Amino acid sequence: MYSDQVMDHFMNPRNVGEIENPDGVGEVGNAKCGDIMKVFLKIENDIIVDVKFKTFGCGAAIATSSMSTEMIKGKSVDEALALTNKAVAEALGGLPPVKMHCSVLAEHAIKAAIEDYKKKHNK
């Protein structure tokens, strides 16, 4: 049902935790399934130098959170804004159709954290 990449990111999630004094924080949830994702960003010169997440949810939610944070670390804010849920799912070797909402949550959490950053820094 799940790819090796999904299982790896679920069993060994990357970038778990919080960032003290983050430059941006985004939190989103899905009322239907109960998944909640919170993303913390540390940004210097418009580059994401660190990113952490806390996710309450199923294995696919944790895997998409982990993969999406890996995909934006070291990228510019604009590059991170261009990340799509489809790119996250593809990087994980695909997701079952009933779990695609997890990759959407990851995309939305990152975008919410970037919006928070832009608001705080008048960008």
**Residues recognised as catalytic:** 33, 102
Dihedral (CA of 80, 84, 90, 94) sign? positive
Q: Please, which residues bridge with residue 24 across strands?
A: 41
Place of tokens 């990759």: 103
Q: Please, which residues bridge with residue 51 across strands?
A: 41
Token digits of residue 123: 């960008």
Question: What is the enclosing helix (H) or strand (E) of 48?
Answer: strand 47-56
Place of tokens 């070797």: 93
Q: Is 119:31 a contact under the CB 8 Å cutoff? A: no
